[in-house]
Amino acid sequence: MLLEARRISKQYRSDSTAVTALHPTSLRIDNGEFVAILGPSGSGKSTLMSILGLLDRPSSGEFFIDGRDSATLSDDQAAGLRNRLIGFVFQSYHLLPRQSILHNVELPLLYSGVGRAERRERATQALTAVKLPHRIDHLPSQLSGGEQQRAAIARAIVTKPAIILADEPTGALDSATGWEILQLLIALNRVGRTIVLVTHDVDIAHQASRIISIRDGTIVSDQSAAAARAAAAAAETMEQCDAAA
């Protein structure tokens, strides 16, 4: 299995107060899954995703990625794993504003020590895969939000990582554009990538094959999308019955 969390928790400490963003939580994500992490704002979705993506370390508990205990990883090793194993997609794209789209997409390869010519070739391929092959010399600001997010996805897949962690990738986009981005992630899942999609939008979460619901730092449900749909339908029926009564 790819990701395994055993009773991980996260506290943020400021001078006097300590905020618990994540209560002890266990979960496993296998190769090839498409998991949505669903929850309202402030529920701890991003916190969980940061730990899954080795951007942060849990305050307690154990986290294994690709069979390796994250506690034993040095900063440099964690950087190497992020580079090879994980692709990140953020709500605000996080493209470098003063560099071309092509250069932005090449960036992860820079840190894997790939040479110039190969970088260019692979970045072009990735941009073709996200259907953005024609605007590679533009600056991010010259692109629409949807196009910028496509570029960010190209950057996430350019190292051919096993996992893509997407934190609210459609959050800044209108629903039609958001839908296109979602189709892109679904397509990536079809060719074997593991996708972890963080969202507060139930409709989007239902495109995944598995939905983990989180509230106030605790997982409240973890079920297949089909089961989740059934549960939602049942809840709706109940409401209608109540209303009728």
| Of residues 140 and 207, the one with the C-beta less far from other proteins | 140
- Report the nearest approach of other proteins to the CB of residue 232 (Å): 32
Torsion of CA 52, 55, 58, 59, to 10 degrees: -160
- Report the nearest approach of ligand ATP to the CB of residue 165 (Å): 12
Residue from 9, 25, 46, 189 in contact with Mg ion (CB under 5 A): 46
Residue from 45, 122, 155, 210 in contact with other proteins (CB under 8 A): 155
Instruction: Tell me how crowded residue 102 is: count the other CB atoms within 10 A of its CB.
Output: 19
Buried b (16+ CB within 10 A) or exposed e, 186-218: eebbeeebbbbbbbbbeebbbbbbbbbbbeebe
The tokens describing 39, both together, are 């929850």
Q: What backbone phi and psi angles, to 5 degrees, belong to 238?
A: -60, -45
Q: Which stretch binds other proteins (CB under 8 A): 80-88, 192-200, 205-213, 226-234?
A: 80-88
| Of residues 44 and 108, the one with the C-beta less far from ligand ATP | 44
Look up residue 137 and give its amino acid. Answer: D
Number of residues near other proteins (by CB under 8 A)? 27
Minimal CA–CA distance to 184: which of 166, 172, 161?
166
- Report the nearest approach of other proteins to the CB of residue 155 (Å): 7
Interface residues with Mg ion (CB under 5 A) are: 46
Interface residues with other proteins (CB under 8 A) are: 50, 53, 55-56, 75-76, 79-80, 82-84, 88, 90, 94, 96, 98-99, 103, 107-108, 110-113, 115, 155, 159
